[in-house]
Amino acid sequence: GAGVSQSPSNKVTEKGKDVELRCDPISGHTALYWYRQSLGQGLEFLIYFQGNSAPDKSGLPSDRFSAERTGGSVSTLTIQRTQQEDSAVYLCASSLDGVEETQYFGPGTRLLVL
């Protein structure tokens, strides 16, 4: 079946603008994760969804970052008033549930804030 998909694949925006990043997890996967990967760095956890709930938001770097998930499927990560330090690759992963640990990643959205 189809893997995790993300859109857009690339996004260039101006400082101060809002952006929305979308993730479509693997069908039937109830757990969804967002990570951020800065240039040349490892992946940094942002938020975890189980169904439509987010029991762990501990990785969101500031209140400019928010995420939601609807229908237990698609998730949107929103960054308000973007800053240059927000430039990174934003990766989404899903797993069958929060117990099944294997996470499958999408291709990521490359965000550049000018």
Partner 1 sequence: GESVGLHLPTLSVQEGDNSIINCAYSNSASDYFIWYKQESGKGPQFIIDIRSNMDKRQGQRVTVLLNKTVKHLSLQIAATQPGDSAVYFCAETFSGGYNKLIFGAGTRLAVHP
Residues that bind partner 1 (CB under 8 A): 4, 31, 33, 35, 40-45, 48, 50, 55-56, 59, 91, 93, 95, 98-99, 101-108
As measured in angstroms, the least distance from the Cβ of 16 to partner 1 is: 28
Q: How far is the CB of 92 from partner 1 (least distance, A)?
A: 8
**Minimum distance between the CB of residue 70 and partner 1, rounded to whole angstroms?**
20
Count the Cβ atoms, other than its own, within 10 Å of residue 79: 24
Toward partner 1, which CB reaches closer, 1 or 42? 42
Please name the residues in contact with 58: beta carbons below 8 A apart, sequence gap of 6 or more.
45
Smaller CB distance to partner 1: residue 12 or 17? 12
Q: Nearer to partner 1 by C-beta: 42 or 71?
A: 42
User: 49: Cβ–Cβ under 8 A, 6 or more apart, which residues?
Assistant: 31, 32, 33, 67, 69, 75
- Cβ distance 26 to 106 under 8 Å? no
Q: How far is the CB of 110 from partner 1 (least distance, A)?
A: 8
CA atoms 58, 60, 65, 66: torsion sign: negative
